[in-house]
Amino acid sequence: MAKTLFRRVGIFDGTGSAPFQGSVLVDGPRIAAVDRDLVADADTQTIDGAGATLMPGLTDAHAHLALGSTIHQISKPLDRSDEETALLIAHCGRVFLDCGFTSAYSGGSGSPRAEIAAKKAFEANWVPGPRLRTSSFERVPGGPMGLRVKFPGAASRPSQIDDVVGFVKEMAALGVESVKFLLNGVSAFDPGSNAGEQFHDEEIVAAAEAARSAGLHMTAHCYTPHAIRLAVQNGFRMLYHCNYADDASIEAIASCKAEIFVSPAPGIVEADLLRGPKFGIMASPPQRKEQEELAERIRTSAIAMRRRGLKLVPGGDFGFPWNPIGRNARDISLFVEWFGFSPAEALSAATRTGGEVMGMGSELGLVKEGYLADLLLVRGDPTREIQILENPDNLIAVMKDGRFHKAPALRPVPEVGAG
């Protein structure tokens, strides 16, 4: 693999600090040097990035590659074979890379087997795709969520500890890296169910013990204070949504904040409001009211969690027809617009903290010597204008593992705004 030198670039290193001018040398899959002025040898390809920003690749911490809808094609929810789903994941993985997302933490897959196969294909460079941490399907009482649209709640059934433990063991045998439980419902499909507790506490206690024994991480879809505290008490690593978090549940997360990541997912909330009704989602007046209240609650809870120093990470539930993959960077922009992050803080959450989400914080998510060369060359400065990342055309180059997924033109990059 040839060496690559990016010279005359503004370097956003992922820490949240302002970009600085310099050069970055990539040798093989890793960054070999970061300095003010590096000189290339005869074996090095030189990219002149005058006016552009070099930054780490982005991480989506709430990825649903198997949902299948992208900015290029809309996929209706269907029961598909594992083989069909694997091909769909491959398509979505390419779109992830096209848009600068070089890492994805799965928030649940309709086909764990297909997701595991796709990860193998991405790692072997059979097909282009992001680094991927795999997940089970999204477990609700009785089995996978699938095409289910009703969430009756735990009060409507007896506790079934053997079922949830069996699920964890089944997923561990398949080889997934995390298991996901929907501790609350989904109001987009079943109005009002966001506030409904779906599992008995003892079921989650038993599932968590089984997951620890199997070496699996746990992921929670949770909205209510009770569900949040239940997840924290049982060692869940990733919490999604948390819209109705109160002071006590936020303090519970804060007590374990070094081990827990929170993905508020404002992207899906905005999509439900703006585009959902065209697809029959949150379309009635009561549903619209609930969703508007949810948007306000997510602002309040995320701001409070940010003030407590919790690890908030972007990932907006992309993959639904009304919220397609390819819009992923919108979630990062909403960290700025809704939660009060500075652009640099939001980018650091998507890069440095993203590396931690992937379990690779010592080698991923920073522009730093020795780190993996997952890099973006961006036209302009996203620390000043975060929204430029929402347009893939602003990505001059996308590199993963020191290989170009999108190579820049072999000529000097013009200054932004130059004629």
> Rounded mean pLDDT of 245-253?
98
The reported pLDDT for the residue numbered 416 is 43
The reported pLDDT for the residue numbered 413 is 43
282 contacts 291 by C-beta, under 8 angstroms: yes
CB atoms within 10 A of CB 156: 10
253 contacts 310 by C-beta, under 8 angstroms: yes
Q: How confident is the model at residue 417 (pLDDT cuts 50, 70, 90)?
A: very low
**Tens-place pLDDT, residues 188-226:** 888 888 999 999 999 999 999 999 999 999 999 999 999
pTM value is: 0.94
User: What is the crossing angle of helices 329-337 and 343-350, to 10°?
Assistant: 140
Mean pLDDT of the chain: 93
User: What is the crossing angle of helices 112-123 and 82-98, to 10°?
Assistant: 50
**Tens-place pLDDT, residues 343-391:** 999 999 999 999 999 999 999 999 999 999 999 999 999 999 999 999 9
Domains of the chain by start residue, with CATH: 3-56+365-406 (2.30.40.10), 58-357 (3.20.20.140)
Q: How confident is the model at residue 43 (pLDDT cuts 50, 70, 90)?
A: confident
Look at 67-81, 125-139, 231-245, 255-269 and tell me which has the smallest mean pLDDT: 67-81
As a whole-number percent, the residues of the chain with pLDDT over 70 amount to 96
Q: How confident is the model at residue 39 (pLDDT cuts 50, 70, 90)?
A: confident
Q: How confident is the model at residue 146 (pLDDT cuts 50, 70, 90)?
A: low
